[in-house]
Amino acid sequence: MATRALPRALRASTSILSASRPTILPSRVVIQRAAFHISATRLQKKKKNTTTAPPPEAGAFARTDDSITVEYPDDSSQLPSSRPVDSGIGRAGQNVFPTLATFSLQGKVGVVTGGARGLGLVMGQGIVVSGGDLAIVDLNKEEATKQAENIVETFKKDYPSAKKIPKVTAHYADVADPTSVDACIAEIISEHGKIDNLVTSAGFTENFEATAYPIDRVRKLWGVNVDGTYLFATAVARHLMDRSSPGSLVFIGSMSGSIVNVPQPQTPYNASKAAVRHLAASFAVEWAKAGIRVNCISPGYMLTALTKKILDENPDLKEKWTSLIPQGQMGNPEDLMGPVTFLLSDASRYVTGADLRVDGGYTCT
């Protein structure tokens, strides 16, 4: 009765819709299922014919491997020596200058802990190339002295017409010892007159499964990575506050402070770098009123001399690492020269509490 009361055109369209539902829609569902079934069958046949090895255990690529053990040498003289890198003038040619004036570190004095080798050495060189003076701090004073001379000689070679030769000095410090840190800071101020910038690059990593990690080594690792960062940062901050001067501090963290590396087990190291990252954020808030900026750089896998030595002894490890990096390769120490210069300079004067990840995209996935 209700249908008859509808207009003829509407009754016709209603009849068409009613008639179409049982015929068109089910046939589409059947076709889709058939197509899926065929595709799945073909995939299964192809896999059966080409697979020769058993599939890996579920989750295997996302787990640590307890068999990987790497112990950091107790004697720093056992570490491979580094060399200053090409600062880029040869590659950039006529485009080296000019650049934004705010990136200059001219007139600034920067301190780099762990500055005699690896990442610290190259970042210190970046400070010098950008116009700043440098104080290299290291547990190995002899190596620091040699590298200070190398940096100056490299600068003279790269910039023969430079009007000012940078002042680069070497200093001893056990970064985990408050007395040693205070003595080092006093020595730097005595030689340079002031401190404007700090890069805390002193640190190390080891690989042990957590249940077998010797507690004395855990404490040593935390002493250098965390206590050393805290002690140097607070010492430099006091100096800046006494001078009523702004400054910029950069902590060298690690992508390991945000993710868990695989396959090597390194829980205490990961936790220590998470602490470094949050120290930077906490100090940034606390010291903002004093004009002191604090930021963190979190490198990914970098090909330092020590890393190369480890990978030469564990060739499969490099393949596993690079397979997880979107850019498909490990970084070089000089990849940190630009980021550290940016964060130390006035180019980043409104940046504080940030964590700049330099990891080839590793932590994006």
Residues that are catalytic = 254, 269, 273
Cβ-proximal residues to 272 (8 Å cutoff; 6+ apart), any chain: 203, 221, 222, 225, 226, 257
Q: Which of 156, 165, 234 is nearest to 195 (CA)?
A: 234
CB contact at 8 A, 283 and 249:
yes
Contacts of 245 (CB under 8 A, 6+ apart): 194, 196, 291
Q: What's the rounded Cα separation, in Å, for the pair 112 and 122?
A: 10
Write the DSSP string, 202-252: -----B--GGG--HHHHHHHHIIIIIHHHHHHHHHHHHHHHHT--EEEEEE
CA separation, residue 268 to residues 47, 202, 224, 357 (Å): 42, 16, 12, 20
Beta-carbon contacts of residue 81 (< 8 Å; ≥ 6 apart): 117, 143, 305
Residue with tokens 């076709």: 31
CA 141 to chain centre: 26
Q: Output DSSP code: residue 332.
A: -
The whole-angstrom separation of Cα 322 and Cα 330 is 6
d(CA 178, CA 277): 21
Name the pairing type of β-strands 355-358 and 168-172.
unpaired
Residues 6+ apart with CB under 8 A from 309: 80
Q: Which helix (H) or strand (E) holds 338?
A: helix 337-344
**Of 344, 346, 68, nearest in space to 201 by CA:** 344
Of all helices (H) and strands (E), which one includes residue 285? helix 267-287
